[in-house]
Structure 1
Amino acid sequence: MTTDLTALITAAREADVVIATAESCTSGMIAAALTEVPGSSAVLDRGFVTYSNAAKMEMLGVQSATLDRVGAVSEEVAQEMAEGALQHSNANLAVSVTGIAGPGGSEFKPEGRVCFGLAQRGTDTQTKTIDFGALGRQNVRAATRDEALALLFNAISR
């Protein structure tokens, strides 16, 4: 893990940032990493583990039309997940992840593809996709967690 979690929590506390996570392929790894730091309860409001499409829709308000049009592994769904995490929490910063950790994938959505969303109250939601490659399920999930933590840290440190 490259992001200094203590620095992230300290920076969030100093900036009055409250975080929510919306996780699919990581199943709570991002929230779990944040809570390894004593005092993280001051800045982590909640984590949504929305592995199924039904959970994405029910817990975060992801639109079924979006899922039907582009599939769960897409920047559009990552955006709706991050925005839904803000709407359904007391957070002012949310990160989301949805991807294919493996094994498997397709020619259009290969193993190791992960889409990220970063939503902050009062700003436009940012999205991006990273193709980590077929690193193996555990490594894709760890790389996804690390990238999400770096996105949070960068957003807080601006």
Structure 2
Amino acid sequence: MEVWLNYVFGLRPRNFWGLVCIPLFPLLHGSYQHLTGNTQAFLLLGWFILMQGIHLFYVVTIATALISGVGAWLFGPPNSVGVGASGVIYGYLGFILMYGIVSGSWIALLLTLIIAVRDAWRITGNKYNESQLLPVERSPRMGWTAHLFGFIGGVLIALALSDMRLN
């Protein structure tokens, strides 16, 4: 059943139906391991954003899902089907890192440093986790375009909302 859902509702680059499925593909996952990996990062990074306000959480989540989806739709490999919330996760990471820099809050800067050290492997990937931000194919089954555009979207949202302060 889940393979069928991924095939039908996953993001297909430069295909009209794939464009329609942009809001759905972050909700689909290729395996239980994929789902749990994204859930852990979603809870940790999403919690920080949620603590700044529910509206900010909604804005960052929806905007990064759409930006990562449009980026993957425009630049993803042909004849592929994208699923997973990694674009949103990388959007959260980009938002938190840039928000810590532009807000000038020492709490935000400290959290930015902690998250940067903790999640440095997300930027380049490693032998234990193939997820990466940089456009280096580590696995033929894993795309990077949603990761990159989610991160860029998070950075842009932080810059656009730079006048907000941490509580």
TM-score by length of 2: 0.25
- Structure with larger RCO (C-alpha < 8 A, sep 6+): 2
Larger-Rg structure: 2
Structure number having the greater helix percentage: 2
Structure number having the greater strand percentage: 1
TM-score by length of 1: 0.26
